[in-house]
Amino acid sequence: MREFETTFIVQPEISDEACSDLCTKLDGILEKSGSRRVMLDDWGKRKLAYEIQKFQKGHYFVLYYLDEGGVVPELERSLRLEESVLRFLTVRAKDRVADVEARVAEGAELERIQKEKAAERAEREAEAERQAEAEARRRAEEAAAAGEASAADETDADTGESDADADDVPVADAEGAEPADQASDEEKE
């Protein structure tokens, strides 16, 4: 048997459920033809090298399977008919796989490890998102507190009061005379 790998890119806004349905459909095609699925590698959403159908990103998958080559046209036909698939490419990875069962077991183990890593990555991303939200809340609270202090300062400036007025300290006018001196000048006249 030969080993093939089919790489396909799905539109980025397609849900995870729709992606898993597509992968299940491809597994069914492989099973119907007597091929052996080795593993499905989910690379996740990535930026495309160039825009495809007005999409800048795509969800990448790589399907590894063992067959003599008869399933490739049917698999590609199915991908071509699927509207959510942007591009696909099938290549022959190995001309001859001597121990089919060992390769299938190796693929199953790699797929299990990838799922564990994906779960860990999702957990790290969720934690980073929670930290970013907490930081944004903290900054918003600081900005609100600074805004309240600034608003209080503006209110004092608008009313003509200052901290010095609040302490009953005489303030000099534009001519430099103290307010008490002005009052005594007025009384003199």
The tens place of each residue's pLDDT in the chain, 189 residues long, gives 889 999 999 999 999 899 999 999 999 999 999 888 999 988 889 999 999 999 999 999 999 999 888 899 999 999 999 999 999 999 998 888 888 888 888 888 888 888 888 888 888 888 988 999 999 999 999 888 887 777 666 666 655 555 545 555 555 555 555 555 555 555 554
In a domain, 138, yes or no: no
* CA 111 to chain CA centroid, nearest Å: 23
pLDDT score of 175: 54
90: in domain: yes
CATH number, domain with residue 87: 3.30.70.60
Does residue 52 lie in a domain region? Answer: yes
Is residue 152, in this structure, part of any structural domain at all?
no
The structural domain count of the chain equals 1
* Partners of 41 in beta bridges: 62
The pLDDT, as a whole number, for residue 155 is 64
Determine the structural domain holding residue 42 and report its residue range. Answer: 2-112
What's the confidence (pLDDT) of residue 4? 93
By C-alpha distance, which of 166, 172, 168, 139 is closest to 153?
166
Helix, strand, coil percentages in the chain from 3-state DSSP, rounded to 5:
55, 25, 20
DSSP 84-138: TEEEEEEEEEES--S-HHHHHHHHHHHHHHHHHHHHHHHHHHHHHHHHHHHHHHH
88 strand-pairing partners = 8
Q: Is residue 156 part of a domain?
A: no
Task: With beta carbons less than 8 A apart as the criterion, state whether 23 and 56 touch.
Answer: no
* 95 occurs within a structural domain: yes
Residue at 157 is within a domain:
no
Asked if residue 104 belongs to a domain, the reply is yes
Neighbours of 163 (CB within 10 A): 9
